[in-house]
Structure 1
Amino acid sequence: MGDKREEVLDAALDEAMRDARITMESVGGRTLRVATWRLDQPSDHLPILFFNGIGANIEAVAPLAEALPDRGFVMFDMPGVGGSPDPVVPYNTVTMAWTTTQLLDKLGVDQVDVMGVSWGGAMAQHFAIQHPGRVRRLILAATSAGMLMVPGNPSSLSKMADPRRYIDAAFMAEHFQTLYGGALGKSVNKMEHIHRLKPPSPRGYFYQLLAMLGWTSAPMLPFMRKKTLIMMGDEDHIVPLANGWFLDKLIPESEMLVLRGGGHLFLLSHSDECVAAMNRFLDEPEAVQRPKAA
């Protein structure tokens, strides 16, 4: 029975990665495992540059790339995560944002729509602030303004900080509901998600935590003139909904989407709703600007 389940999970993983082009790229003094989708195909849309959550490898979000077949997609494993080698020295948001521009240059990509989830949402904000000429629009999912945030549930945060969630499948399965809440935590699909995860190295995980130490985007967000879609789950135990409202108030050209019953992994549990919202937002004409509530 166990072997049969493994075969089914392996098949699901192969399906999610079937169109991905995986390469190892040396950029900015680092070697990164990079996945791209459809960059060599003609498109009327800009590619999406995606920043992943802490400790998460490319495979964890591959279904999202597959769900956007009309758009190019670029994602990479952070140093010490997934298939990227361990970082030799620490990095921060500034150096990693610059490294990302070097990667885009190497891929022949000038401008992108940027998306980030959780830890990657902070990187997405910083990239848009540091390199505004490379960014058209911004999508932020399950994220915050950094150190100035409403903290999550202590029980969830303590398990989130434990790398065992990537190493020990039993630990992950046992605490999945506490970690991620919402619809996916109650779903059999959680085993498919767990199967996609590859544990980060201890150094890689620590350096990701270190990169955001003391970081906040709050002072700069009122000056960021990028149309921004903020997506938050109302059952997120790790990044509570209030953080999304805070971002929405700070970013002049933002709109907010609340995923009802969505936990921290609402991109997977509410994938159809998220993809529809993303396509609508990215395809909206530049002249359209939605009035913000007072």
Structure 2
Amino acid sequence: MMDVGGRTLRVAHWRLDEPSDHPPLLFFNGIGANIEAVAPLAEMLTERAFVMFDMPGTGESPDPTIPYNPFTMTWTATQILDRLGLEEVDVMGVSWGGAMAQHYALQYPGRTRRLVLVATTAGMLMVPGNPAALTKMANPRRYIDPKFMNEHFQTLYGGVDKDGASHQKDSHIGRLKPPSPRGYFYQLIAMLGWTSLPALPFMSKEVLIMMGDDDQIVPLINGKILNTAIRNSRLEVIEGGGHLFLLTHADESVAALREFLDAPDGEDRAAA
């Protein structure tokens, strides 16, 4: 637990005390998701440090007392990095966290080396997903009822036809912890009216956009919009991947991450 920016947050980090040729990775999670939900990704990226925190009212972080927005929460993220002695980082976000990652890179370009956007959008200016998936996503039972999640996982997230994906699905369900009602509500309203689209053409960072072609929540077209708006970006489409392809297609996702993050400066830009 760490007291930063007037908030108490649960912070997790991996391998900060180990030597590495790579900058640490700052990760912003999806809405309502706790640290454990993405811990397998952190554990697979063994060659680099990894930093993540539970948003207020999610995981083990206490409920927020007042609402927050991308400006205040990305500033809070810098306070966490300062406490950990970290200056420049690679920044990554998935879904709701992908919007937060965009805002971080735009607000703190001097602390951002490269940016990875996963299954995300430019904010309010987005193409919505499958109504059936969005309706079930809004149902709090997906956090507290494993049977509900198991029955509706394909509708919610797609991408579970791949070999081994069923095991990943069950493992993911077991790692979820429901956010508090206030925590979930404050995450929802944090992004009301927010969009990165007008600023994206001015972003100079090298950006990897990863999307699944079976994503029922954030359709692939949103990744294409980001790819068009960001001049130094490349789009990686995970075939058969749903909204959680980072977990159901973990090996393929980690390989794409490493190829992008480990490329010499300028090389990935040329490839894009």
TM-score range, shorter chain: over 0.9
Report deviation, 1:31: 0.5
Contact 2:160–2:169 under 8 Å retained in 1: no
Distance 2:88 2:134 in 1: 35
SS at structure 1 position matched to 2:179: coil
Amino acid at match of 1:90: P
Match of residue 290 from structure 1: 270
Contact 2:215–2:241 under 8 Å retained in 1: yes
Percent of aligned pairs sharing the same letter: 70
Note if 1:72 corresponds to 2:52.
Answer: no
Question: Alignment RMSD, CA only?
Answer: 1.1
Amino acid at match of 2:193: G
Distance 1:44 1:188 in 2: 33
Q: Which runs of 4+ in 1 moved over 3 A?
A: none
Q: Say which of 77, 85, 102 aligns to 1:108.
A: 85
Report deviation, 1:182: 1.1
**What TM-score, normalized by structure 1, do the two folds share?**
0.90
Match of residue 6 from structure 2: 29
For structure 1, the residue ranges without an aligned partner over 5 or more in a row are 1-23
SS at structure 1 position matched to 2:116: strand
Residue-by-residue CA offset, 1:9-53 (whole Å, 9 max, x unaligned): xxxxxxxxxxxxxxx000000000010000011111000000000
Residue-by-residue CA offset, 1:123-165 (whole Å, 9 max, x unaligned): 0000000111110000000000011101000010111122221
Note if 1:149 corresponds to 2:126.
Answer: yes
Report deviation, 1:291: 5.6
Q: Say which of 150, 161, 177 aligns to 1:198.
A: 177
Amino acid at match of 2:194: W
Question: Cα–Cα, structure 1 residues 237 and 168, in superposed 2: closer, same or farther, change >3 Å?
Answer: same
Amino acid at match of 1:264: H
Residue-by-residue CA offset, 1:273-294 (whole Å, 9 max, x unaligned): 11111111111111322265xx
Distance 2:67 2:130 in 1: 28
Contact 1:163–1:205 under 8 Å retained in 2: no
Contact 2:169–2:248 under 8 Å retained in 1: no
Match of residue 41 from structure 1: 18
Q: Say which of 2, 18, 29 aligns to 1:52.
A: 29
For structure 2, the residue ranges without an aligned partner over 5 or more in a row are none
Q: Say which of 227, 233, 240 aligns to 1:254.
A: 233
Match of residue 83 from structure 1: 60
Distance 1:85 1:287 in 2: 42
Amino acid at match of 1:263: G
**What TM-score, normalized by structure 2, do the two folds share?**
0.97
Contact 1:80–1:201 under 8 Å retained in 2: yes
Amino acid at match of 1:272: D
Contact 1:87–1:203 under 8 Å retained in 2: yes
Note if 1:277 corresponds to 2:221.
Answer: no
Distance 1:119 1:184 in 2: 25
Match of residue 211 from structure 1: 190
Match of residue 172 from structure 1: 149
Note if 1:93 corresponds to 2:70.
Answer: yes
SS at structure 1 position matched to 2:18: coil
Report deviation, 1:189: 2.6
Distance 1:291 1:78 in 2: 35
Aligned length: 269
